[in-house]
Structure 1
């Protein structure tokens, strides 16, 4: 089963009568050297981009309209047999009918990678990580102006994510062919454990959702445990000195990455600079390392830069509470779920395993995913229903056109008449900069932390075709189930009308009679 079929199956049980149309884009693996930019040696990691677009059609005659979008990334580290599924953005346009399919779609994505029987990459250990921060819009421009969109509040969003992760891990643990070790962690920066539990309980009571689940949650970070190997530190704790850069991965547009970047470029925590050390005498054998200061030599030997070798993971999360993203008056949450199972390693010999860079059937080129995301963010808006319908038609047609090779990069027009006596500005050449997705500026490397990997990819980028579009990218499912009971109706009443509500008995207060005087 591929990812598209898994997601369609998760949508088939939703209440109501409607039809869903889905587009799933998964890029081919490519090398990535900046997931752990401050680890020495840097692990060889392979990255895949994931983009999911879901549109809804209430009747056969009504137009399609985009209702949910998910942007995620999957990192594979073959050296430690660890994978990381990072959910970067989840957004709804507000144009879906009740109930919204966003929760079912996200849960289907999580279960596809969490279940070892459906996981497309052969890894023994999987980490699911995300940063929950409530905003009015993420992937649908101007959707916050639509009156039908009601985004969750900050604490309610944390409860929503905790409930989805709990349901996912409970289902995987119940359906697993063998015992799967699962550990769940969450941190609300600026909150103690008692305050975090109390805040989530209040949000559960107001939203009516249960975020407890069957498996226990640990309030804290997973970087001090040894039950499930971490992606960068497996088997290196005994014979190597580790710094903070070996534990915490760096994702795009993530507050942890920006904070770790500042720590890596801080040399004097107290604000007092140490005197520069004298240059050592050059050795007679021409050793270049003797020309460098002692502090720089220690930096290279320990693999730590700035304060990375002094700040522990516990101290990192304690100081994370004072970051701007966490003290702006809203509740934010960091979630990390680890799963360990070695069933695949015993059934798949290492000699017959395919290269982690080899593209699999149904995958597309990474530039195609970036182009669709850039088109969604910069050329469409969802403030009204008519604009959302027009954006849906254009975007879905563009995805199919890219698979049919009908949407090349437009070139600059050539003027037919040119006046010799009139000066003119030369036409700009074709630029691909507009196709790149805007993101947080890359970390300050100082010229030493990040070295680009210039080794070529032995595999050519996959070329999407109509067969790929029909078999892996596009899919549809018609839902015809019992409708969801209306809010305020009686339990078990399908219509939830006012006439079926149970009678309310009002108790009168009996006054105490005064004794006769």
Structure 2
């Protein structure tokens, strides 16, 4: 069963009567050097772009409307039989019928890659990374202006992601064998373990969440780089000892605060005036033989240090900052101390070592149903810059254009890019008559979506930043058969609706607040003044 059929099968169990239409766009593998840019030696990594768009149709006569979307990246490291799944964005328009299909969609999506029997790459171990940062919108522009969308707050979002990943671990555990190992890690920068536990429990208790399923998987508050049970993607052995290069442990993702912090550590030089304290030399012993032995050890340390300084040592301070110190410093980063609570979640799933992971198929070979990465980029650019979802009418129009563009690209048609939509608002009284002209964009040129400034990876010592080795396989050519068999699918849902709440029972919370609970207002008793 492919990813499209897996998602449709899970959506079929939702309550209510409606029809779902899903588009799953997975690019063919390509070489990538951005996951571990400071590792030495640098592993060979293959990257795939994943985009899932879900639309809903209330009745056969009603129009389709986008309700959820997922953007993710899958990295494959054959040398260590590892895979890394990074969930970069998950968003909803708030225009779906209750209950929202977003939790079911993301849970089924992660379970598909976490389960060894459905994982599309030959990897015995997979690491799932999620960075939870509350925002009003991620993939659907202006969807936060729709009155029905209620984005979660910072701590509510962290509790929501922890609940979803716990369910994924429980589902994978129930399917897998007894010797499958699952480990869950999470960190809330700036919070101690006790503070984070109470904050997440308080946020989870205030939400209308279903009870957790029974699971033997427990969460560890910390990072996964000090354990040796599950192999890391950039290490053949366990990570129980420090090997002197932070770049071999922490992966780098786009638009991620820890990646920007890694870049700063790698580019710290002595001229910057910020360096980690150097280790003191051991004191010489009192006897003569001890003096000679200590002197020789110091000379050997100096020789090794000089060799490392010539080009063998990692860049900047990567050889001085340990993973524990890295996460301790992350608590003082701007993204983590700006007032909003953020969280890093990592789930490691390890299958038995005797499971065959070597495949005669090349990791670069395109598989059925995969498309060129350029198609994924064009769809993402159109979604982020050419449409908006502030009203039902605009959302329906955007859904129709985007779904038509995806089918047109698969048929080999040149889809006309949509013009960026700008909502005209009347100027204020003091601004009438003087407005800054908007830059004109040609109709045939699609502007780039807003992104974080590029990382400083132009020069990494003597190692090139791009892999100039040509791909021996041509880019896959999408066809209408690929579209109907792997990309597009629909499912009709006809289940009993959710039971209505009894009168007087509190309703579901909005943004972590129970809106149905009665509020008692205490009146202030004023003191009477005594008249003479």
* TM-score of the alignment, normalized to the shorter chain, above 0.5: yes
Give, in whole Å, the separation in 1 of the partners of 2:482 and 2:16: 30
Q: Residues 138-287 of structure 1 correspond to what in structure 2 (within 5 A)?
A: 138-209=138-209, 210=211, 214=215, 215-235=217-237, 241-268=243-270, 271=273
3-state SS in 1 of match to 2:349:
strand
TM-score by length of structure 1 reads: 0.82
3-state SS in 2 of match to 1:160:
helix
Aligned residue number for residue 372 of structure 2: 365
3-state SS in 2 of match to 1:191:
coil
**Which stretch shifts more, 389-398 or 240-249?**
240-249
Give, in whole Å, the separation in 2 of the partners of 1:237 and 1:162: 25
3-state SS in 2 of match to 1:337:
strand
| Number of aligned positions between the proteins | 454
3-state SS in 1 of match to 2:206:
helix
* TM-aligned CA deviation for residue 222 of structure 1: 0.2
* TM-aligned CA deviation for residue 346 of structure 1: 3.7
- Contact 1:72–1:89 (8 Å) recurs in 2: yes
- Contact 1:130–1:334 (8 Å) recurs in 2: yes
Contiguous gaps of at least 5 residues in structure 1: 275-292, 411-427, 492-517
Aligned residue number for residue 296 of structure 2: none
* TM-aligned CA deviation for residue 295 of structure 1: 7.7
Contiguous gaps of at least 5 residues in structure 2: 277-302, 418-440, 506-532
3-state SS in 1 of match to 2:401:
helix
* TM-aligned CA deviation for residue 184 of structure 1: 0.4
Say whether residues 1:471 and 2:481 are aligned partners: no
* TM-aligned CA deviation for residue 192 of structure 1: 0.3
Q: Residues 59-98 of structure 1 correspond to what in structure 2 (within 5 A)?
A: 59-98=59-98
TM-score by length of structure 2 reads: 0.80
**Which stretch shifts more, 400-409 or 30-39?**
400-409
* TM-aligned CA deviation for residue 41 of structure 1: 1.4
* TM-aligned CA deviation for residue 171 of structure 1: 1.2
- Contact 1:155–1:203 (8 Å) recurs in 2: yes
- Contact 2:331–2:337 (8 Å) recurs in 1: yes
Aligned residue number for residue 57 of structure 1: 57
- Contact 1:132–1:333 (8 Å) recurs in 2: yes
3-state SS in 2 of match to 1:453:
coil
Q: 1:374 to 1:236 in 2, by over 3 A?
A: same
Q: 1:238 to 1:379 in 2, by over 3 A?
A: closer
- Contact 2:229–2:238 (8 Å) recurs in 1: no
Give, in whole Å, the separation in 1 of the partners of 2:481 and 2:366: 16
- Contact 1:20–1:477 (8 Å) recurs in 2: yes
**Which stretch shifts more, 64-73 or 150-159?**
150-159
* TM-aligned CA deviation for residue 296 of structure 1: 8.0
* 1:335 pairs with one of 337, 345, 348: 345
Give, in whole Å, the separation in 1 of the partners of 2:266 and 2:34: 14
- Contact 2:20–2:492 (8 Å) recurs in 1: yes
Q: 1:162 to 1:197 in 2, by over 3 A?
A: same
Q: 1:371 to 1:488 in 2, by over 3 A?
A: farther
* TM-aligned CA deviation for residue 439 of structure 1: 4.4
Q: 1:94 to 1:236 in 2, by over 3 A?
A: closer
